[in-house]
Amino acid sequence: MSEVKVALLGFGTIGYGVYTNITNEQNTIQNVVKQTVKITGALIRDPHKERSIAKDILLTTDFHELLAKEKPDVVIEAMGGIEPTLTYIKDALNAGCHVISANKDLIARHGKDIEEIAKANNVFFAYEASVGGGIPLIRTIKELLQFNHIEQIEAILNGTSNFILSYMRSEKASFEDALEIAKAKGYAEPDPTNDVEGYDPFYKAMVLSNLMYGAQPHWEDVFVEGISKVKTDELLLAETLGFRLKQFVSINDALQVSVGLHFVDNTHPLYGVEGVDNAIRFKAKTLGFLTLQGPGAGANATSSAIIEDLVSFYTKEKVVPEVPKQTRVPENAERPTSTYTLLFTREDCCEKLVDILQENGAILQRASSPYGSALLYKTHGTPTYQLLAQYAEDVALYSAHVTNEQLYTRTKEVISTI
C-alpha cells in the first residue's frame, strides 16, 4: 500500500493533537484514503524537551532538514505567528508539498498570495481549521458558492469568549474568574488578548470575507469589540429581559464587517450556543438560511478539521469555485446603529430616565432586579445616547436591532458602564 508522508511544523497542543489522532485513527484514515498516512517528522523549538512520540519520527529545529531528509507529501503548519511561518509555508509549496494551516492571523494577511503560490505549483493549500474549530465551515462555504450567493452571515467564532460569557452568566462569576477557568480547561492561551479583545474573530472575519467575496474591507474601518469590559451584572440583568450576550462576527456582501457584542433573545438561532461551541448562520440568495454549530476550541476540534483537510486531498476532486471580486471597498465604516436600545442604569436613576425617554420614544420592556434596572426602548428620532449624554456616568446603553426575523443585535453606544 502506498504511503502519504506528513511533516508537522510545531508540536505543541495542536501539533500533538494531530499526531495523536492520526496515530489512534490510522485504520479509519487508511480505509478512507486507501493509503497509509505516516508522520515522518516535526519541527520543534526545544530539542531537549521530552515528548511522547515514536522514536522513528525526526524531531528537528531545522525546517530545511525536515523537507530534505524525507520529503513530505503534506506539511501541516501548527506553529502560529507570521514569520518564519510564512516563509516555511511558501518554501513547502514551492517544493511540491500540499500545506494545511490553522493560522487565521497569517491567512487573513497573506492567504490570497499563498493560494496563488499553491496554484502555480499544482498543489493544495487548505485552512479549514483556521475558522470555526471543528465545524466544516470553509468546505461548506466553498460548496455553497458553486451556486448560491451568500448575502450575509452572523457567527460566533471564538470559543474562548463564548465560554467566558456563558460561564459568567451561569455561575454568576466575574470576567477574571471565568478567564482563569478557561485557562485551566485549556480553552484560553496564557496571553488571552487575541481572544478576549476580539482580534481572533476579527482575523477569522477577514479570512471569510476573502473567501466569500474575494476582498476585505480596510482593516482600520472594521468595528471590533472584545468582552473584557463586560460586567456580570449586565449579563444577569439582561437575562431578566430574556436576552443573552454573544460576541458576533457580522459580514455582508457589501463588505461591511464587524465584531461586536450582541444581545439575542430565544427566537434567535444562536441563542442556545453555549460554552466553547462556535456557530454560523448563513443567508444565501437561493438557499435561504442555514445554521451550523460545533466545538470551536480545544486540540481535538482543531486537529479534527486539519485531518479532514488531509483526507480530502486524497479522496475526491478539489473544487474551489471562483469567488466574485469586489470592486468597491467601503470606507469610513460606522458602528452598527439601531433605533432600539437596551439601557442599564441604577435603580435611583430609572424614573428620571423614563420621563426623558417617554418624550422621545416608547419603552417596550422594563425590568428591575438586584443587579440594577433595564429598559428596552425604541427611539423615534434623536439617538438615545445623545438624549442621555448628560447621564453618561449613570447608564450603559446597548443598541438592540430588531429585524423582521426578530433577531436582536447589540453594540455599545456609550463610554461608561454601571
What's the chain look like in SS3? CCEEEEEEECCCHHHHHHHHHHHHCHHHHHHHHCCEEEEEEEECCCCCCCCCCCCCCEEECCHHHHHHHCCCCEEEECCCCCCCHHHHHHHHHHCCCEEEECCHHHHHHHHHHHHHHHHHCCCCEECHHHCCCCCCHHHHHHHHCCCCCEEEEEEECCHHHHHHHHHHHHHCCCHHHHHHHHHHCCCCCCCCHHHHCCHHHHHHHHHHHHHHHCCCCCHHHCEECCCCCCCHHHHHHHHHCCCEEEEEEEEECCCCEEEEEEEECCCCCCCCCCCCEEEEEEEECCCEEEEEEEECCCHHHHHHHHHHHHHHHCCCCCCCCCCCCCCCCCCCCCCCCCCEEEEEECHHHHHHHHHHHHCCEEEEEEEEECCEEEEEEEECCCCHHHHCHHHCCCEEEEEEEECCCCCEEEEECCCCCC
Q: Between these two residues, 322 and 279, which has the higher pLDDT value?
A: 279
**Residue predicted with more confidence, 344 or 143:** 143
Backbone torsions φ then ψ of 172, nearest 5 degrees? 55, 45
Of 126, 141, 171, the residue at which a domain comes to its end is 126
Q: Are 59 and 86 in contact (CB under 8 A)?
A: no
Regarding whether 234 and 370 lie in a shared domain, the answer is no
**Whether 201 and 290 share a structural domain:** yes
Mean pLDDT computed over 128-156: 92
Domain-embedded: residue 332: no
In angstroms, the first-to-last Cα distance of the chain is 66
Q: Higher pLDDT residue, 164 or 397?
A: 164
Give the position of cell 436591532. Answer: 401
Q: Which of 128, 137, 208, 197 is nearest to 161 (CA)?
A: 197
User: Is the residue at 17 inside a domain?
Assistant: yes
Residues, the chain: 418
In a shared domain, residues 209 and 244: yes
Greater model confidence, 336 or 307: 307
Pairing of β 223-224 and β 288-295: unpaired
> Which of 294, 327, 361 is the last residue before a domain boundary?
294
Domain total of the chain: 3
Which domain does 55 fall in, by range? Answer: 3-126
pLDDT band with cut points at 50, 70 and 90 for residue 381: low
The reply to whether 116 and 157 lie within a common domain is no
* pLDDT score of 358 more than 90: no
**Residue 60 pLDDT:** 96
Do residues 27 and 103 share a domain?
Answer: yes
368 φ/ψ angles, rounded to the nearest 5 degrees: -125, 145
Q: Confidence band (pLDDT; 50, 70, 90) for 398?
A: very low
Domain CATH number, residue 161: 3.30.360.10
Indicate whether this model's pTM tops 0.85. no
Residue 407 has pLDDT above 60, yes or no: no
Pairing state of beta strands 36-43 and 58-60? parallel
Q: What is the mean pLDDT of residues 34-42?
A: 94
- My answer on whether 352 and 289 are in the same domain is no
Q: Residue 410 pLDDT > 60, yes or no?
A: no
Same-domain status, 160 and 290: yes
| pLDDT of res. 236 | 86
Q: Which is nearest to 418 in space by CA: 334, 353, 322?
A: 353
Residue-wise pLDDT tens digits, 268-315:
899 999 999 999 999 999 999 999 999 987 788 899 999 999 999 988
Q: Is residue 136 part of a domain?
A: no
Average pLDDT over the chain reads: 83
Largest Cα–Cα distance in the chain? 79
Mean pLDDT over 46-69 rounds to: 93
Q: Which pLDDT score is estimated for 85?
A: 98
Would you say residue 96 lies in a domain?
A: yes
The neighbouring-strand residues paired with 367 are 374
Whether residue 283 is found in the same domain as residue 363: no
Residues 57 and 160 in one domain: no
CATH number at residue 61: 3.40.50.720
pLDDT value at 409 more than 50: no
The CATH number that applies at residue 364 is 3.30.70
Q: How far is residue 229's CA from residue 291's CA, in Å, rounded to a whole number?
A: 29
Residue 324 within a domain: no
Residue 125: per-residue pLDDT: 96
Write the pLDDT tens digit of every residue in 81-116.
Answer: 999 999 999 999 999 999 999 999 999 999 999 999
Residue 405 has pLDDT above 70, yes or no: no
Query: Could you tell me the three cell numbers for 95?
Result: 517544493
Last residue of a domain, one of 269, 294, 319: 294
What confidence tier does 326 reach under pLDDT thresholds 50, 70, 90?
A: low
Confidence of residue 240 (pLDDT cuts 50, 70, 90): confident
Q: Does residue 312 fall inside a structural domain? A: no
Same-domain check for residues 285 and 346: no
Same-domain check for residues 14 and 121: yes
* pLDDT score, position 262: 80
Residues with catalytic function? 204
In a domain, 368, yes or no: yes
Q: In the prediction, which pLDDT does 396 show?
A: 54
Mean pLDDT to the nearest integer, 367-383? 63
Q: What is the pLDDT of residue 383?
A: 56
Whether the CB-CB separation of 82 and 105 falls below 8 Å is answered with yes
Least confident of 149-158, 202-211, 228-237, 323-332: 323-332
- Residue 322 included in any domain: no
Q: Verify that 276 and 351 share a domain, yes or no.
A: no
